[in-house]
Amino acid sequence: MNEPVLDVRNLRVAFRARRSSVTALRDVSFTLHPGRTLALVGESGSGKSVSSLAIMGLLPPNGAVTGGAIHYRAVDGSVSDLTTASKSEMRARRGAEIAMIFQEPMSSLNPLFTIGDQIGEMLLLHTDLDARQRRQRVLEMLELVEIPAAASRIDNYPHELSGGMRQRVMIALAMVCNPALLIADEPTTALDVTIQAQILDLMRRLQKELGMSILFITHDMGVVAEMADDVAVMYAGAIVEQAGASELFARPSHPYTRGLLHSIPMPGRPEGERLVPIPGTVPPLHAMPEGCAFAPRCGLADEACRKPVSLSDFAPNHRVACFHAGREVTHV
């Protein structure tokens, strides 16, 4: 396999509070290879979006990378650590080589500018195209993401478009410079099921045509089944299970992963099978339990779970952070 486009190693992120700081990411490691899709999956508060913001260099002012590295392999083959990159270097990479689709397009698109101007601004920043060429490229992108009557929509404002069309505009904005790496943070959460399926189909098609890598952030295991080649399950700021998508769905081995799969509707689930919610909530960052963070919610927890646990090999290309990996969970 080719060298990874993205190699995150032991990443730690902390946020300053009034008189202290809390750790939001704890030694997170994963790799993403060319042309593949890695899904980061977990509940709200698990650290998925913080991981993406750290990669993009967009952490809020009270957040900082406190350890680890984010190695990015550029199109020219050079490798750099994004955690030490200057602000000017990150500005040059964002949009041109690394792009992001945010969850809510209405808060990401500027309501005062047309969609054509907003997509065109990315070309103005990162290419030498003149105004006519930029407009032509924007029109091509709107057609590529299947905006109906693109030529008449190019001068529309965001509020004049439906939710599904705004999300297509966000995809066009992210991909107009043909990035090597696309980060998609819950890109279909706010959409109805039919539009969600269309957006996922569009992303798969564009990935195949352009050969880009995708880091797909979601809490929806059904979307993971459709989109991902590889999966990293996050809980309370750490990765608790990593595997290829087919392996993970065939043999979910961490109690939290099993809990996620048992708590949501999934294709192929027997009709009438009862969904089982995971009790409790993700612990707050300032009050993490000793040892395994999932232990207070886990039906398998025992005295051993009070000790620190890290990812270890469970099967080929399958790693789990659990003392009871693979055991049947009768309740979670």
- Domains of the chain (ranges; CATH) run 6-234 (3.40.50.300), 252-320 (no CATH)
Q: What is the pLDDT of residues 34-84, one digit of tens each?
A: 999 999 999 888 999 999 999 999 999 999 999 999 999 988 889 999 999
pLDDT, residue 82, reads 95
| CB-based burial, 132-142: b 16+ in 10 Å, e otherwise | eebbebbbebb
pLDDT, residue 331, reads 46
Q: What is the pLDDT of residues 138-156, one digit of tens each?
A: 999 999 888 999 999 999 9
% helix, strand, coil for the chain, step of 5 = 35, 25, 40
Q: Write out the chain's pLDDT in tens, 332 residues.
A: 578 999 999 999 999 988 888 999 999 999 999 999 999 999 888 999 999 999 999 999 999 999 999 999 988 889 999 999 999 999 989 888 999 988 776 678 899 999 999 999 999 999 999 999 999 999 999 998 889 999 999 999 999 998 888 988 998 998 888 899 999 998 877 677 888 888 888 888 889 888 899 999 998 888 898 899 999 999 999 999 999 999 999 999 999 999 888 877 665 556 666 777 888 888 888 889 889 999 999 989 999 999 999 899 998 999 999 999 887 755 44
Contact by Cβ (8 Å): 46, 237: yes
In residues, how long is the chain? 332
Global confidence as pTM = 0.90
Query: Would you call 71 helix, strand, or coil by DSSP?
Result: strand
Of 256, 255, 232, 236, the closest CA to residue 244 belongs to 232
Query: Would you call 163 helix, strand, or coil by DSSP?
Result: helix
pLDDT, residue 272, reads 62
Across the beta sheet with 21-32, the strand order is 21-32, 6-16, 63-73, 79-81
Residues sharing a CB contact under 8 Å with residue 240, sequence separation 6 or more, in sequence order: 233, 234, 254, 256, 257, 294, 311, 320, 321, 322
pLDDT, residue 105, reads 65
Element (H, E) at 229: none
